[in-house]
Amino acid sequence: MSPAELDAVARKITIAFAAVGIIYVGALIAKLFTYTIAWVRPGRKLRKYGQWAVVTGATDGIGKAYCYEMAKQKLDVVVMGRTESKVKELCSALETKYGVKTLALVEDFSAADQAMFDRVAGALKGLDVGVLINNVGMSYPHAKYFTEVDSKLIDDLIRINIYTTTQMTKTVLPGMEARRRGAVVFIGSGSATVLPTDPLYGVYAGAKGYVEQFARALAVECKPRGVDVQLQAPLFVATKMAKIRKGSLTAPAPAVYARWGTGAIGYETVTTPYWVHTIMWGIISLMPLKLWDAIRMSQVRSIRKRALAKKGKKSS
């Protein structure tokens, strides 16, 4: 090959790399623009979906915060939880503060079966349910290798994160489709949607991965029928389940997260609505997989080590 031909080939390669770079940078700019729009756009008026909101796992953390956000929007609220005193206390607080109606449903999702969902269907019969917040969920007590996860924990993770979420949707969705309006919101997890891998939390991440794919499929099915379906995938939020006591910039208080989450309803199918989590998602997506795996393994091993040490002190 002559020098002229080599020079021509080099120019073509340079142009090709430049084109790829321009496309990549353009995609990043477009994504950043989309994120910026999401942070400043107005939230939907949720009463357009219907009169009632149903919130599962409603007495603590994100679920409780969502109950307040729904009531702020002047939706009546069905409060679902397993502790009767907490359910009734929250119902009373919502009625007093916002003047909305509430319905207390006391059910233990860890013992969910078809009879329970038949009871729920009966209680909701005749209600104009416009919003379903599928919030109930559970994770590991602490990071564990899969071989350390006992059968009961596996059953509970699948039952609460997959079975109950699916059945609650099955209970509520037909009415929404009949009225041709409604919004179903799944509270997924960054463990499945944002993080490329989440070792030592594999069953939880896998269960939440099911929720994401279920939500994506339903969104396509339901959009022509007037129902918006969304998967929200938070990273850390200061809740009992996350074992974070105090909110911070990267792990917001439930009230902060729910405010951002409520503003996102009716927009993207899959989102992590809290703005800092969105930035974190972008950063993580750019990391080489091996680097991420090394960082995450270091984190979860540390979590496991501390948890085992704490258990050892309690038993001694």
Could you give the CA distance from residue 101 to residue 81 in angstroms, rounded to a whole number?
17
Instruction: Give catalytic status of residue 49 as yes or no.
Output: no
| pLDDT band at residue 313 using 50, 70 and 90 as cut-offs | confident
Q: Is 76 in contact with 53 (CB distance < 8 Å)?
A: yes
- This prediction has a pTM of 0.88
The pLDDT assigned to 51 comes to 98
Q: For residue 54, what are its two tokens?
A: 């149903």
Q: For residue 159, what are its two tokens?
A: 């039952």
- DSSP letter at 287 equals S
pLDDT in tens, 150-178: 999 999 999 999 999 999 999 999 999 99
Q: Position 89: which residue type?
A: E
Nearest CA among 182, 247, 159, 138 for reference residue 48 = 182
Give 138: exposed, middle or buried? Use CB within 10 Å, 0-12, 13-18, 19+: middle
| pLDDT band at residue 240 using 50, 70 and 90 as cut-offs | confident
User: pLDDT at residue 147 above 80?
Assistant: yes
Report residue 246: phi and psi, to 5°. -125, 135
Q: Is 88 in contact with 79 (CB distance < 8 Å)?
A: no
User: pLDDT at residue 96 above 60?
Assistant: yes
Q: For residue 136, what are its two tokens?
A: 């109930």
CA dihedral 76, 69, 162, 305 (to 10 degrees): -150
Could you give the CA distance from residue 235 to residue 299 in angstroms, rounded to a whole number?
14
The pLDDT assigned to 242 comes to 83
Catalytic residue (one of 204, 210, 267, 274): 204
User: pLDDT at residue 1 above 60?
Assistant: no
- Cβ partners under 8 Å of residue 270, min gap 6: 193, 212, 215, 216, 230, 231, 233
User: pLDDT at residue 15 above 90?
Assistant: no
Instruction: Give the ranges where 73-179 is alpha helix by DSSP (H).
Output: 84-98, 114-124, 151-158, 164-179
Residue reference for tokens 């009463």:
47
| pLDDT band at residue 235 using 50, 70 and 90 as cut-offs | very high
Average pLDDT of the chain is 92
